[in-house]
Amino acid sequence: MASLTARKSTQRYVVFNNKRSTFFEAWRACMSLGLRLATVNSAQDDAALLVALRDAGTHHKGPWYIAGTDLGKEGSFVWLTTNREVGYGSGYVNWQTGEPSNSGGNEHCIESAVLQVTGLFSATVPTATAAQRLTPGSLPTTRL
């Protein structure tokens, strides 16, 4: 089902699994390759990202950063790449149960993970690798 829904998405994603990074290291690495951290604005985008994460292989180091953060204002998550609130326009969010929780007072970045059949959002401490969204063009050949 995810792959059928994913085909309706206009987003293109690429996943890098070879390095753990902080949120800002992931953001900067994307920018250096002409990419940006993933944004998810619909169920179709979420399905496309989930397909990319699953296709990344079983040796993944996820969960993966996506572009959401509340570093500007606690509890107000925005997409760093578009400066719009998470859910703006479409109303789409896919928070894992109990999230965002700001556990320990230091969870300010959104991650996506492959949890059973859906990619769910949670706010997390910066320790995971990045999932990146492609801007128009070809896949980069450089590794992060």
CATH classification of the domain holding 104: 3.10.100.10
- 141 within domain boundaries: no
pLDDT tens per residue across all 144 residues of the chain: 344 444 556 677 777 777 778 888 888 888 888 888 888 888 888 888 888 887 776 566 667 888 999 999 999 999 988 899 998 888 888 888 888 888 888 888 888 876 544 455 555 544 444 454 444 444 444 444
- 3 within domain boundaries: no
- 44 within domain boundaries: yes
Judging by beta carbons within 10 Å of its beta carbon (0-12, 13-18, 19+), is residue 112 exposed, middle or buried?
buried
Q: For residue 110, which of 60, 49, 59, 69 has the smallest C-alpha distance? A: 69
Judging by beta carbons within 10 Å of its beta carbon (0-12, 13-18, 19+), is residue 130 exposed, middle or buried?
buried
- 68 within domain boundaries: yes
Query: What pLDDT is attached to residue 142?
Result: 45
- 32 within domain boundaries: yes
Domain of 22?
A: 13-136
Query: What pLDDT is attached to residue 59?
Result: 60
**pTM metric for this prediction:** 0.74
- 31 within domain boundaries: yes
Query: What pLDDT is attached to residue 84?
Result: 92
Query: What pLDDT is attached to residue 85?
Result: 93
Query: What pLDDT is attached to residue 73?
Result: 92
- 2 within domain boundaries: no
SS3 44: helix
**Number of structural domains in the chain:** 1
- 113 within domain boundaries: yes
